[in-house]
Amino acid sequence: MARQKEKEKRSGGGWKATLLLFLLLIIASAAVLFTMDGRHVQFRLVDSSEITVPYGVDFVDPGRSAVTTGRIFGPALLLPVESSGYVNTKRIGTYELTYTTEFLFNTYTATRIVHVADITPPVITLQTVDGYEPDWFTGYEEEGYLAWDDVDGDLTAQVQFEQLEDKIEYRVSDRAGNETVVERELPTASAPELTLLGDEIMTITARMDFEDPGFTAVDGKGKDLSDLVTVESNVTPYRLGEYQVIYSISNGEETISVLRTVEVVPVELPEVIQPDEKTIYLTFDDGPGPYTEALLDVLAAYDVKATFFVTQEYPQYEDMIGRAYREGHTIAVHTASHDYYKIYASEQAYLDDFYAMQEVIYRQTGEYTQMFRFPGGSSNTVSNFNPGIMSRLTGMMNSMGYQYYDWHVDSGDAGGTRSKAGVVANVTSGCAERRTTVVLQHDVKDYSVDAVEQIIIWGRQNGYTFRALDLTSPTAHHGIAN
């Protein structure tokens, strides 16, 4: 019994020893493996160990972790990590964050460098005005803008801008070199509307003055721009042809134009009618003068109508024009000045003189006349100082509906004839050779006026009728010598 117990005792002690030995073996093996594994702590930082964050933006740690790792078994255990340090994004500078963990009675750390920097560009805010439309003349007027930087503050004054073809480019940089560029599309300005009044293609009869029907010019807002329109015209209304009137409005870069075409055509004159009976047309140039009243008395006594080609050489007798008109005589233009070198200097000079006399006639008669006589006649050569002037004037005046009258018989009272008898002889001999005769006399010559009664008596005795000229009368045109 005692042996049995001893035997059991020895048997139990061996088992424990074996177990202990096994455990020691395991521990030794683990120690060897641990040593071979080289197990250590590894920090893992999300992003990078050195980062830059923008000024003024709340800082959020990108993240971190710590694990144990070794050569044999790799990562195994996720360790708790504590962090320390502070990042002030309201202040530019460099900050350090420290991460800490413990393993096997050892403390392990890692750091992250955080740079707070001005990396955010300024903000440019473009302002707009409701309903704004640029002016076509002055172009776009800046509606306004603001520039703000979180570090530098208000940068509006530093904004630079450049107007391109269809946009404006705004540019600003802060002290850190961050640049912002924004663009504004330019709103379109409404171009003015230029509209012709009257016809685009006009046909007018030849005349002294061209009365432009006009135009309207308004901008997109209905503002009247007529005063800004320029008119270029080559219309010469007394000369036949086709002309142009160009109406333009410009802002310096763009020009808007409309065109009117004006065609000047001749005025139709009545057909000349030859009288059936023998006719004498007494015509008197250069008056009225001191003898015109006596002449009118003679004509009235014999009920003869004559034609007066009047001037303003004697303005104190101007009222005789009115009397002659009221008594049924024809009033026609001769000249206002009777200055050859003045009136034949140019077409315009002639017209100025012509219309000055027309106004005198209108003042006395209440109407203008279409009838006239050139000083010196259409065949004069005193105008040779201006070559071709008579050819141009005759065509021009006829185109405007004016009819000029020369003469068949010259009384000679402005030449070598200085007596009543001489005038009578010249006129009666000249008329005797013709069936229809236009006679030239001057009512500023007393002896010529004195001869009129005898001429009337002779004419009637020889079967002649005395008439005043009208637009259907024979014109007695001479051959043009210039």
pLDDT in tens, 335-363: 999 999 999 999 999 999 999 999 999 99
pLDDT digits (tens, 9 = 90+) for 223-236: 899 999 999 999 98
Query: Which CATH code is given to the segment(s) 123-185?
Result: 2.60.40
| Best CATH choice for the domain 279-466 from the list 3.20.20.370, 3.40.1480.10, 3.40.50.150, 3.30.930.10 | 3.20.20.370
d(CA 26, CA 273): 155
DSSP single-letter state for residue 224: B
CB atoms within 10 A of CB 88: 12
- Range of 23-37, 207-221, 415-429 with top mean pLDDT: 415-429
**Range with the poorest average pLDDT among 88-92, 102-106, 411-415:** 102-106
State the Cα torsion 450-454-459-460 to the nearest 10°. Answer: 120
Which carries the bigger pLDDT value, residue 29 or residue 246?
A: 246
Q: Are 195 and 176 spatial neighbours (Cβ–Cβ below 8 Å)?
A: no
Q: Which of 356, 345, 261 is nearest to 311 (CA)?
A: 356
Predicted local confidence at residue 39, as pLDDT: 77
| Best CATH choice for the domain 40-117 from the list 3.90.170.10, 3.30.2420.10, 3.40.50.300, 2.60.40.10 | 2.60.40.10
Q: How confident is the model at residue 3 (pLDDT cuts 50, 70, 90)?
A: low
Predicted local confidence at residue 215, as pLDDT: 95
d(CA 293, CA 444): 11
Q: Are 273 and 253 spatial neighbours (Cβ–Cβ below 8 Å)?
A: no
Predicted local confidence at residue 30, as pLDDT: 58
Predicted local confidence at residue 165, as pLDDT: 83
Backbone angles phi, psi at 131, to 5 degrees: 75, 5
pLDDT digits (tens, 9 = 90+) for 113-147: 999 999 999 999 999 999 888 888 888 899 999 99
Predicted local confidence at residue 40, as pLDDT: 85
Backbone angles phi, psi at 333, to 5 degrees: -85, 135
Predicted local confidence at residue 187, as pLDDT: 87
Domain ranges of the chain: 40-117, 123-185, 193-265, 279-466
Block residue for tokens 């049924």: 328
Q: Are 370 and 406 spatial neighbours (Cβ–Cβ below 8 Å)?
A: no
Predicted local confidence at residue 12, as pLDDT: 57
Cis peptide before 288 (omega within 30 of 0): yes
Q: Which of 164, 174, 468 is nearest to 331 (CA)?
A: 468
Tell how far CA 319 is from the center of its chain.
52
d(CA 407, CA 438): 5
Domains 193-265 and 279-466 agree in fold: no
Give me the amino acid identity at 118. Answer: D
Q: How many residues does the chain have?
A: 482
Predicted local confidence at residue 26, as pLDDT: 73
Q: Are 443 and 321 spatial neighbours (Cβ–Cβ below 8 Å)?
A: no
Predicted local confidence at residue 209, as pLDDT: 85
If you average pLDDT over residues 403-432, what whole number do you get? 96
For the chain, the average pLDDT equals 92
Predicted local confidence at residue 168, as pLDDT: 94
**Range with the poorest average pLDDT among 90-94, 188-192, 212-216, 317-321:** 188-192
If you average pLDDT over residues 414-441, what whole number do you get? 95
Query: Which CATH code is given to the segment(s) 193-265?
Result: 2.60.40.10
pLDDT digits (tens, 9 = 90+) for 22-77: 777 776 665 565 566 677 889 999 999 999 999 999 999 999 999 988 877 667 78
